Chain A
């Protein structure tokens, strides 16, 4: 069983939901990535999503854009991101790691080269924001050959028929974008999310996670009653941005702990 599948199996055995933090590798420093990952796990994270920096993050709001810019100023490349995963794997062989980014850096490296190197590094899933299923077919095939999941997105505007098609193709887990907008944007309507997640569940064979706009423990708790996983991105990146470099790991871990407590209180 893959790390992602066994993580969800273990969680559902203890009646808990997955907490999935996101941050961009190289923000604030390349060297802070592995300690931050370890801190997030000690704070209660179940799966880690790592952002691959890109010069033109079209689907991201200002917070994650700035994180990407800081990482690029530090010269961080996709190859560095893979090296971070490999280093993390030396001390943690159970926590799934999902890479999240845009198509161009991956295409530049080459789809097959990327898949092989991701496999060697210990990556479990890949989410390419600007690869809808049709455009992402070749990467999905390359990843499937090496046993890596392709994580697909669903949104509030996804039509019923498309939802069914994407649910069929999904591996690992499905990621439901809980609001109309970019990462870090405005207000999330929990009731509307509940309805949509219910529909997705009826088609999906994999767990369903919810992300975008989750900023506090109370929202995370309500969503963990609805979905299998809760993704915390911009809120964590803000915490990192506001921390002195020496404080990043401590504050990231403390933030995770808050979300963890809130979510587990729901069970």
Chain B
């Protein structure tokens, strides 16, 4: 693979991706495709985006050498790409700024979003406030309960949070409900999808907006250590932080790309959210990709300690990178992620999001077996302040 230029015209990454939506949405998707094609190469748009990312988000985010963690493990050196230091505390804002800027140019005064952990909802509510747009966030009723702090945060930012009571009452159902809203309010509404899933052009657009993460690493790593890393690790829910850091590295074939899925109680327990590790290709939410589904094609309920990874599908580009071998995907259990959470807190004074803790856990698994000259770069996609109640509950405490 020398030149990587996917997706194709129809939004396909190999056999994955596409535009699997009802005819009622096709016009809106065609419009979005045309406008995104136009603005992705518009110098004025790109200059404003760069300005926003610098002055509002605080980019570039630093890369930090986790020296004590590395020495504790006694193997490879572990570096952290600090997306947790972004405004709003995660990589999600890279994408919401880009999409909100596009929405403004398309004359849409109202934005909607789905959210699981609430991070994407917060990032959307934040930019909606920043640009003076109306904002409605759909969130599974179960997640509204689990993530009360983020719900309040979104309300403070002026967003309306709608609990979704259908299906499993989690992220996938919130996405269904946001799609239904979009169909009903096509004229004035822009749907800001929070990960590299959904119908074409979303997987490409969300990847492109997050690719700033990998591009920064491409210049930061040589400045810092004189070369590129040997391994890059990122957690995979829908896959946006992982695509963001992987994408610019796809042509650098000596760099191993490893996505870390939510193993929940373990793959053999059936209670997990590891679509690439344990799923079967199918069609959901507008694209073809690996899905956790039963023998009859019904989507099954997932489980993860981290609400942001609790999703039965995965972005179609990851499905393709898995099949063609450019990236590989592993799963880490709730327990392993929690241990990584505590370890990073104690050794480095960094409180990682439970999502990101999955990638840290994989680094902790791999580092001891690798030589001290090896370098692992972990995308620390977000900070863990939002997860304190969950972690405390696990330890038998109630905050």
Contacts and interface: CB of A to CB of B under 8 A. Distances in A.
B291 interface: yes
B222 interface: no
A59 interface: yes
B19 interface: yes
B20 A105 contact: no
Interface in B273-292: 280, 282-286, 291
A103 B27 CA distance: 20
Contacts of A56: 167, 172-173, 176, 284-285, 299
Interface string A155-172: 101110010001000000
Consensus secondary structure, chain B interface: mixed
B42 interface: no
A62 interface: yes
Nearest to B180: A182
B166 A130 contact: no
B290 to A, nearest CB: 12
Given A59-B22, A132-B19, A107 B283 contact: yes
B141 to A, nearest CB: 14
B19 A55 contact: no
A177 interface: yes
A10 interface: no
A153 B285 contact: no
A78 B28 contact: no
A78 B179 contact: no
Interface string A43-82: 0000000000111111111100100010010000111000
Interface in B26-42: 26-28, 30
B176 A57 contact: yes
A157 B26 contact: yes
Interface string B167-199: 100001100100110011110000000000000
A262 interface: no
Interface of B: 10, 18-24, 26-28, 30, 166-167, 172-173, 176, 179-180, 183-186, 280, 282-286, 291, 293, 295-300
A83 interface: no
Given A104-B293, A107-B297, A132-B21, A158 B26 contact: yes
Contacts of B30: 159
A106 interface: yes
- Residue from A56, A102, A180 with most neighbouring chain B CB atoms (10 Å): A56
Contacts of A185: 184
A33 interface: no
Contacts of B296: 77-79, 105, 108-109
B342 to A, nearest CB: 36
16 contacts: A54-B297, A56-B167, A69-B167, A102-B283, A104-B283, A104-B297, A108-B280, A109-B296, A130-B20, A130-B283, A132-B26, A153-B22, A155-B24, A157-B28, A158-B23, A162-B26
Interface in A122-139: 129-132, 134-135
Given A102-B283, A131-B20, 12 more contacts: A59-B24, A107-B282, A107-B283, A108-B293, A108-B297, A132-B23, A155-B22, A157-B27, A162-B26, A177-B23, A182-B180, A182-B184
A152 B283 CA distance: 18
- Residue from B10, B282, B296, B298 with most neighbouring chain A CB atoms (10 Å): B296
A102 B286 CA distance: 11
B22 A58 contact: yes
A181 interface: yes
A128 to B, nearest CB: 9
Contact of B179 (A58, A69, A180): A58
Nearest to B22: A59
A62 B180 CA distance: 10
